[in-house]
Structure 1
Amino acid sequence: MTRFMPDRSKSHHPAAALSRAHMPTSYDISLIDYTKDGAHRIPPYLGPSQSLAGFDPEYRNIVDYIVRITYRIWETEAREVEYIEACYSDDSLVYDDYGLQHGNAKIVGDTHHTTGAFPDIILNAEEVIWAGDDSVGFHTSHLTRIKGKNTGPSKYGDPTEAEVDVMVIANCVALGNDIFLEHVLYNTSAMLKQLGLDLWEEADRLAADPFPGWPRSAETWADLRAGVRPERPLSLGEPVEGFDPDAFSRAIHNNIWNGDGSVLDESYAADLPFEGTTDRKFSGRDAYRDHVGELRAAFPDLKHQVDEVYWMGNDADGFLISTRWSADATHSGGMLYRDPTGQTCQIWGITQQRVKDGIVEQEWQLFNELDLMIQIAKARRDG
């Protein structure tokens, strides 16, 4: 069988920012419809067709593309890891837990490494928030659950026989079957914790002998934050009457993470279910407030900014919102990351929210916690 290869006669960089018109206003093409609310992983009916110029004609819409390339690469009997070469561009930029990775060859190598360490690995899609089209680019926020047993060696050591269950969020931009920009948080700290490894020991080891891409340069940090960021927030450049997911997400993130927190009671469900980095899991506003307070105590001068927001949905059915954010912060307080070091740290994350009637009903949030610990460990080593 001849493998489809995309047209790479020109680069897709730089990725274009989205307009309000690019946000889907229905759930006709959505993961919940695709899987029939979890009844199927790969359904017999692949959903409505959608214009996918330049994509492999095997795929019917952007949700089908995201779910099935993942399944094809990681889980089919053939396990077509090299198919990555047909769906990540040669000049792809991937910002991950360790910095910036260039090109699809690195992704192929990392995938072989992971499947070797977890031969029975499963990547189960739990949400795909998407926006855009085949002209400006499809933007997708893919929340997946990685499960597997560590029966092979890895860059973290000998097999432990431990079972892992790790949430991952990947925000991608794709054109012509090629993902060419990705911000991905693998929640590596959760995986290492579940493997039974000591996170501070790993952070110290990696600070002394870091993986490629770490530490980020100032230029890489600036590019990570600026990637696909609109010149002006849509809430300012394209204002609307009524509920605005862009204005809502920016307001609550800025209020909560920059130290005010007054919007929690009015904008979050009292019984909010939350899942986050390094196996954080809780419910309710008070627990959320404690989560924010613990991080802000470690970084009292944290300066949080929203970098990109996109969404799908409508007032009647509710909204799914993806927000990518970042912060500069000095490790000068608290005990979450042990004694303060005075280190200026780079923190970035992705949040997915389910919102109805102006209330966050559920939230998933990941940030670069292992990377953050490595930054702090390096400061101690250099101290």
Structure 2
Amino acid sequence: MTPHSPGLRAFGFDGPVDYIKRITYDIWNLPHRNLELIRRYYAPSTAIHLDAGDLVGDETVIANTHARLRTYPDFHGTIDDTIWTGSEEEGYRTSMRWTWTGTDTGGTTYGPATGRPVTFTAIANCIVRGEVIIEEWLGANPLAQARQLGYTLEDALEATRYPQTPRVARPAFDFTRTAEGDLVRQAFTGALDGWIESGFYAADCATAFAPDIQRDGAGAMTEWANGLRAALGPLAAEIDDQYSLQASDTLPLRVATQWRIAGTGPQGPVEFSLISHHHLVDGRVTAQWLAYDELALAHQGIALPQPATAV
């Protein structure tokens, strides 16, 4: 499938936010759920990059969606935010953060149906040409799903298979560095290095570390970063893509960043991807969402501290 135009308006969409909202809800949400639309908005060559391994092609997306709906027939997703960049002339890059809920009545790879409800979050970064997603990077944490269903880390490791050394594809383009993007870079990499007290984070900053791990306060970021450094030693963080959006003077400036983080684990060098959304107010981070795959790290011998209870 080859789009005739890089833009979206020729296909009846009022820009990238409208596009992401309409295709997401029309494909996956009741009452209008229509999986056949996947063949319209994904190409046979579309690659979806994850630390768990790439998914390629519209038919793979359809098969995975059927499997998810067998587990969660009441699946329902809500888009929390879409940050984007681009134009009708060059096409768009979008970063969609969304939350979906469902009840496990069909069983998962971890075990038979539990009857438990799940709340899951993910961030999907897409390259859109015409009305087709030609490439996507997905930040998601399946271990959070397992925890909410009552399974342990050991259960999840036994039930899943990951590449021995995950390598997520780098985007084949450059991005434009901006002042707000540099602020996020300094705040995030500073926290990874252990100097969050520099003032980049608001004292009451809210952080979603996983769908079931959400904490308030800059100290929570320090704890998380300390846990990563304890597991991986000194960390190196690179940015693969980044862009921001300011909807109005009264709303936070929103920054989407695609990170590549490297360290050394018990089995050798480790590299994993993380997609973040940051809110900035008066030059400080007031809220952030971090989407990465804990299970991929665990398969490489990196077991991060688990929450006492899932929420």
Q: Is the TM-score greater than 0.5? A: yes
Aligned to 1:119: 73
- Separation in 2, partners of 1:356, 1:297: 31
How far 1:205 moved relative to its partner?
A: 3.7
Deviations 1:264-291 (A, max 9, x none): 4411111111111262211111121111
1:176 aligns with 2:130: yes
CA contact (8 A) 1:315 1:356 kept: no
TM-score, normalised with respect to structure 2? 0.89
1:234 aligns with 2:167: no
Q: How does 1:44-193 map to 2 (within 5 A)?
A: 52-55=8-11, 57=12, 59-193=13-147
Aligned to 1:251: 186
Distance 1:151-1:70 versus aligned 2 partners, 3 A rule:
same
- Separation in 2, partners of 1:80, 1:315: 34
Q: Residue 112 of structure 2 aligns to a residue in which SS?
A: coil
1:351 aligns with 2:305: no
- Separation in 2, partners of 1:60, 1:76: 23
- Separation in 2, partners of 1:80, 1:134: 27
Structure with higher Rg: it is: 1
Letter in 2 for 1:157: G
How far 1:152 moved relative to its partner?
A: 0.9
Corresponding residue to 2:259 among 306, 325, 329: 325
Q: Percent identity?
A: 26
Between Structure 1 and Structure 2, how many residues are aligned?
A: 302
How far 1:163 moved relative to its partner?
A: 0.1
- Separation in 2, partners of 1:267, 1:312: 19
- Separation in 2, partners of 1:70, 1:123: 8
Deviations 1:192-243 (A, max 9, x none): 111111122221342xxx26xx3456xxx2x62x21551x7524xxxxxxxx
Q: Which moved more, 1:341-350 or 1:192-201?
A: 341-350
Corresponding residue to 2:239 among 306, 323, 326: 306
Q: Residue 77 of structure 1 aligns to a residue in which SS?
A: coil
Q: Residue 84 of structure 1 aligns to a residue in which SS?
A: helix
Corresponding residue to 1:195 among 111, 134, 149: 149
Letter in 2 for 1:319: L
The RMSD of aligned alpha carbons is 2.4
CA contact (8 A) 2:71 2:108 kept: yes
- Separation in 2, partners of 1:349, 1:233: 19
Distance 1:248-1:290 versus aligned 2 partners, 3 A rule:
same
How far 1:348 moved relative to its partner?
A: 1.2
- Separation in 2, partners of 1:146, 1:60: 24
How far 1:374 moved relative to its partner?
A: 1.5
Aligned to 1:271: 204
Q: Residue 234 of structure 1 aligns to a residue in which SS?
A: coil
Q: Residue 273 of structure 2 aligns to a residue in which SS?
A: strand
CA contact (8 A) 2:127 2:134 kept: yes
CA contact (8 A) 1:269 1:359 kept: yes
Structure with the bigger percentage of strand: 2
- Separation in 2, partners of 1:106, 1:146: 20
CA contact (8 A) 1:254 1:306 kept: no
Letter in 1 for 2:8: L
Deviations 1:31-64 (A, max 9, x none): xxxxxxxxxxxxxxxxxxxx62553x2x322111
Q: Residue 200 of structure 1 aligns to a residue in which SS?
A: helix
Distance 1:104-1:216 versus aligned 2 partners, 3 A rule:
farther
